[in-house]
Structure 1
Amino acid sequence: MKATLAVRAALASLLVLGAAGCAQAADGAGKGSDDQFAFPGGDTVALRVEQVGGFVPPAYLASRIPMLTVYADGRVITEGPVTMIYPGPALPNIQVRRISSGDVQKLVDQAVKAGIGTKQDLGQPGVTDMPDTVITVHTADGDKKTTAYALNEEIRTDGLSADQVAARRKLLDLVKALTDLDTTLGKGAVGQSEPYQAKTVAGLASTYQANPDAGKQAEVAWPGPALPGKAFSEGLDLGCVAATGDQATAVLAAAAKANQLTPWTSGGKTYSVAIRPLLPDEADCAALAW
């Protein structure tokens, strides 16, 4: 009798473990059987591809969304399709998907094998005012980073050697692979896309400038911390505030009904505000400084 009860208990334990494993695999966050992933925390950035700099307005520089951010726990955050209307919506379309931690490690390995963080001669194309593409990967030896100026589909050969062009092509192929995970990791490896729910929202405020061609825009009272906030640098018409808790909820609700030309009022003044939900590894406005 005791033996029978022991067998039943063992079978019950196996069923519980099996169910937990199925649930973990279903949300795309389960670990592979040979997984050796050991990042220090869920909000640790395992891999990021972003563009920085370029000749664009300061508010755009600060509010730009990384092309791809992969976190240690398997979250993948990107910017989704942009509505082709003018003025565009006030809120960026930030999406989150999930992959297994084993696949996170595959992407990290792919970036390391492509030479991210090693010295590469990428040359300097003969163009001006273009952004840098920055790829950062987290490894056991710390973060490794590679920066490439003016890296895009139309690779310019002006002033570049054949080796430099080949190196840039290899880096561009890596960016394509990392930003097309359905192809890179295979069918079913990436979970469904869902809207990203930010806990902190930054408001990048500058003096309001109306656009007569867009018509008069309805004013909206800013529900977050008082604008314009702390300036990014002395003499620059751009401040930043970070809303959390109930204020973050209120900002997101108001922004969902606003557009990029909405005049926001605060303290008797009117501002243009670029609204930037902060990503999990971004604590406050300091994370957006360039």
Structure 2
Amino acid sequence: MTSFRGVWVAVVPVLLLTAACAGQDGAGIAPDAAPTSLPANVPVLRIDQTGGFVRPETNVTRLPSVSVYADGRVITQGPTVLSYPGPALPNVQVRTISKAEVAKLVEQARAAGVGGAVDVGTPKITDVTTTRFTIRGTVGSEQLEVYALGEATGPEAGLTPAQQAAREKLRTFADKLTDPGSAATQPYQPTAIAAVAGPWVATPETAKQPRMEWPGPVLPGASLGEGLDLGCVTVTGAAVQQLIATAGKANAATPWTSGGKPWTVTLRPLLPDETDCASLTAGR
């Protein structure tokens, strides 16, 4: 398990140089004044999860908690069904805010500590996820990675009062951003879906599930890496709506038949800034 200390990661050298000159309080870091001048499909603010003790297909297909795009779209995960097996497709919701509200959210992220040299400590917890906050502007990207943000909430985790306070600010911001409240949302309509496939294994529960014919490209698709018995195909065009309709009759444990073999398939709607299976492993 890799443990991350909360650090600010700037992917553009000029930002890294600015941070080095700014001091521990982040003073002197000039915020990007025009994040909404970026192309519509660029996420200017994102919160996602990395790592943790999870199955490989879960790590690859995990959706960001929230993505705020330059044109005002806010894409989040909707409520999930707790019963097993769950639905074949995740519940992804979208709402739209103004560009002024987008800029305000970026300001609030900075006020919470994203883009600054904030000390969030290294809690004494293992095998949990790292929360990654990303701000993207016209001059580059800034990231703050916080290990065990949701789990390490008290002194028993080995954190100082200042580190606990810094984490609480980030938790409060993340909770506010991911909860649409009374705002109207709609189901997100993807233009492409990635399907991560592995060999189907019969268990007392999965053996009860009826097999369904896979409506997309032949499975399992291109390998996702050495040591992973997983492949991935990208469903595009008219086949997307066909897959959505078919998946509505399936569930997460459905054996999908392709090439005469049954497969376990995890479906991942691709977001506006994602194009194909390669997008799932980029930056992980």
Interval containing the TM-score (normalised by the shorter chain): 0.7 to 0.9
Q: Is the 8 A contact 2:87 2:252 kept in 1?
A: yes
Query: What are the Cα deviations for residues 8-33 of structure 1, in whole angstroms up to 9, with x where unaligned?
Result: xxxxxxxxxxxxxxxxxxxxxxxxxx
Query: What are the Cα deviations for residues 83-127 of structure 1, in whole angstroms up to 9, with x where unaligned?
Result: 232211101111111111110110011112222122222111111
Query: What are the Cα deviations for residues 181-232 of structure 1, in whole angstroms up to 9, with x where unaligned?
Result: 54xxxx7xx4x21111000001000110123045511111111111111111
* Equivalent position to 2:217, from 225, 231, 240: 225
Distance in 2 (alpha carbons) for counterparts of 1:203 and 1:39: 33
Whether 1:202 and 2:194 are equivalent positions in the alignment is: yes
Distance in 2 (alpha carbons) for counterparts of 1:77 and 1:238: 27
* Equivalent position to 2:246, from 247, 254, 270: 254
Segments of 5+ residues of structure 1 without an aligned counterpart are 1-34
Report the counterpart of residue 44 of structure 1 in structure 2. 42
Whether 1:126 and 2:118 are equivalent positions in the alignment is: no
Distance in 2 (alpha carbons) for counterparts of 1:204 and 1:219: 17
Return the TM-score normalized by structure 1. Answer: 0.81
Instruction: Name which one, 1 or 2, has greater alpha-carbon Rg.
Output: 1
Distance in 2 (alpha carbons) for counterparts of 1:248 and 1:224: 8
Report the counterpart of residue 274 of structure 1 in structure 2. 266
Deviation at 1:71, TM superposition (A): 0.8
Report the counterpart of residue 144 of structure 1 in structure 2. 142
1:84-123 equivalence runs, <5 A? 84-123=82-121
Report the counterpart of residue 73 of structure 1 in structure 2. 71
Report the counterpart of residue 231 of structure 2 in structure 1. 239
Q: What is the letter of the counterpart of residue 123 of structure 2?
A: P
Segments of 5+ residues of structure 2 without an aligned counterpart are 1-32
Q: What is the letter of the counterpart of residue 261 of structure 2?
A: K
Distance in 2 (alpha carbons) for counterparts of 1:242 and 1:200: 7
Deviation at 1:46, TM superposition (A): 1.4
Aligned length: 249
More divergent stretch after superposition (62-71 vs 245-254)? 245-254
Greater relative contact order, per chain length (Cα 8 Å cut-off, separation 6+): 2
Structure 1 ranges of 4+ moved more than 3 A: 35-38
Overall identity of the aligned pairs, in %? 47
Q: Is the 8 A contact 1:210 1:261 kept in 2?
A: no
More divergent stretch after superposition (117-126 vs 252-261)? 117-126
Cα distance, 1:200–1:171 mapped onto 2, change above 3 Å: same
Report the counterpart of residue 18 of structure 2 in structure 1. none
Q: What is the letter of the counterpart of residue 164 of structure 2?
A: V
**Cα-Cα RMSD:** 1.8
Please state whether the residue corresponding to 1:109 is helix, strand or coil.
helix
Q: What is the letter of the counterpart of residue 100 of structure 1?
A: S
Q: What is the letter of the counterpart of residue 176 of structure 2?
A: A
